[in-house]
Amino acid sequence: MLQSWLATICSAAALASAVAAGDAYDAQAQAIVDGFSAEQLLGQMTQLTLSTVMNDTTRELNETAVRSFAQQHVGSYLNTYWDKPVNGSYGYNASEFRSIIQRIQEISMEENGGHPIIYGIDSVHGANYVDGSVLMPQQINSGASFNPDLVYEVARITARDTEAAGISWVFGPILDISQNTLWSRTFETFGEDPYLASVMGAALVRGLQSYNQTAACIKHFIGYSKTPTGHDRDNVNMPDFDLLNYFLPPFKAAFEAGALTTMENYISLNGDPVIASSRILNDLLRSDLGFNGLLLSDWNEIYNLHDFHRVSATREEAVGTSLKQTSIDMSMVATDTDFIEYGLNMLKENPNQEARLRESAKRIIKLKLQLGLYDNPVPGKDYRVRIPHGSLG
């Protein structure tokens, strides 16, 4: 009883401290964003894949491209240069990753008023894109352990090895509920039990964020896995009862565990693409769940309102639709900066939307402050020696 009481007191104290720190970051972020132009707002909201700034035939950084994007105020990068092997290797070890991200940060902060980028990656079973890191089981195997303490350790080591590469944003855990074993991503889930996914997902979030330099990005909000055919992108028909009682609990638990960010998904829910759904991304996420962290699109998904869902006549219209109808904060574009131009055109026709964009930029800057990126843009230096090849280079 005493132990339980002390744990409650300690948890309350930690929560009070976190709230106070959050308020301070909130004020700092607001002060920074108040000075942003419209171009800076939309630049911060843009995320590009690493291949946009890499030489096509070598593993060298194209610094001219980085500088050009920095001058457009691009706020984030993701991914690894894995689409073709170079010298027999697809990936980078921690030191190689750090070297690339260090230079991206140096150029970006030099050209963009001292504002760092935030780098994200899919470390979903260990730091699986960092050569020499500790590979972990897929989530379906972790779920089968029924051991949240073990899953916490899996996440803690994943965060350590990801930070060793200089990366502070992990696109995980996956909190989709398995509904159709034909779906190609079933192995990424914790299975079919919402309670198990809730407990394990919360443990993963706490482990990933235990170093206070890594942000978890829980995904894919929401209903993504209820595919009727097994195809990855389907229209999903679902009553609210199922949505709220079966698919929502893992996300709710992860938010309560302190998840700093979340990612939406590729589906249409009852005919309404999630990426344009005010009901899902405003009412459910922001109002009902009270989530005030960063909301990221999935790959190319805003453009997919035109390219895939066919509900927008052009990509420019798609950008306007998503920005006006939802609270999306960052677009994983991920291969160009047209999003910025399209957003500016939307603002010309809808100047009242500027406050909404400032709110998104504020969430982005607040996250960067929370992770200490303004003071230490490439975290995890001390963790390199924990993984093979980590001290080389």
Query: Is 283 a domain residue?
Result: yes
**Left, alpha or beta for 96 (phi > 0: left; psi -120 to 50: alpha)?**
alpha
Q: By C-alpha distance, which of 53, 43, 57 is closest to 80?
A: 53
Q: What is the distance between the alpha carbons of residues 155 and 72, in angstroms, rounded to a whole number?
A: 34
- Give the model confidence (pLDDT) of 349-392 as tens digits: 999 999 999 999 999 999 999 999 999 999 998 886 666 554 33
Domain total of the chain? 1
Query: Is 246 a domain residue?
Result: yes
Query: Is 168 a domain residue?
Result: yes
Query: Is 33 a domain residue?
Result: yes
Here the CATH number for the domain that contains residue 196 is 3.20.20.300
Structure token digits, residue 134: 């500790």
Query: Is 309 a domain residue?
Result: yes
Alpha helices in the chain (DSSP H): 2-33, 38-44, 63-71, 94-111, 139-144, 148-164, 194-208, 240-242, 248-256, 278, 304-307, 315-325, 338-349, 354-370
Q: By C-alpha distance, which of 173, 170, 285 is closest to 219?
A: 173
Contact, 221 vs 261, CB < 8 A? no
Phi, psi of 385 (to 5 degrees): -75, -10
pLDDT tens digits in sequence order for the chain, 393 residues long:
334 333 433 444 544 555 556 689 999 999 999 999 999 999 999 999 999 999 877 778 999 999 999 999 999 999 987 666 666 777 789 999 999 999 999 999 999 999 999 999 999 999 999 988 999 999 999 999 999 999 999 999 999 999 999 999 999 999 999 999 999 999 999 999 999 999 999 999 999 999 999 999 999 999 999 999 988 888 999 999 999 999 999 999 999 999 999 999 999 999 999 999 999 999 999 999 999 999 999 999 999 999 999 999 999 999 999 999 999 999 999 899 999 999 999 999 999 999 999 999 999 999 999 999 999 999 998 886 666 554 333
Q: If you search the block for the tokens 């996914």, which residue do you land on?
A: 197
Query: Is 340 a domain residue?
Result: yes
- Give the model confidence (pLDDT) of 238-284 as tens digits: 999 999 999 999 999 999 999 999 999 999 999 999 999 999 999 99
Q: What is the distance between the alpha carbons of residues 317 and 201, in angstroms, rounded to a whole number?
A: 36
Q: What is the distance between the alpha carbons of residues 9 and 267, in angstroms, rounded to a whole number?
A: 42
Could you list the residue range(s) of the whole structural domain that residue 160 is in?
23-37+125-386
Q: What is the pTM assigned to this prediction?
A: 0.92
Q: What is the distance between the alpha carbons of residues 259 and 278, in angstroms, rounded to a whole number?
A: 21
Q: What is the pLDDT of residue 44?
A: 99
Query: Is 207 a domain residue?
Result: yes
Q: Strand, coil or helix: what is 296?
A: strand
* Active-site residue (options: 122, 176, 298, 329): 298
CA dist 281 → 114, 342, 357 (Å): 31, 21, 15
Strand pairing report for 130-131 and 46-49: unpaired
Residue 298 falls in the annotated catalytic set? yes
Structure token digits, residue 265: 């998904």
Query: Is 112 a domain residue?
Result: no
DSSP-assigned letters across all residues of 326-376: S---BEEEES-SHHHHHHHHHHHH-GGGHHHHHHHHHHHHHHHHHTTTTT-
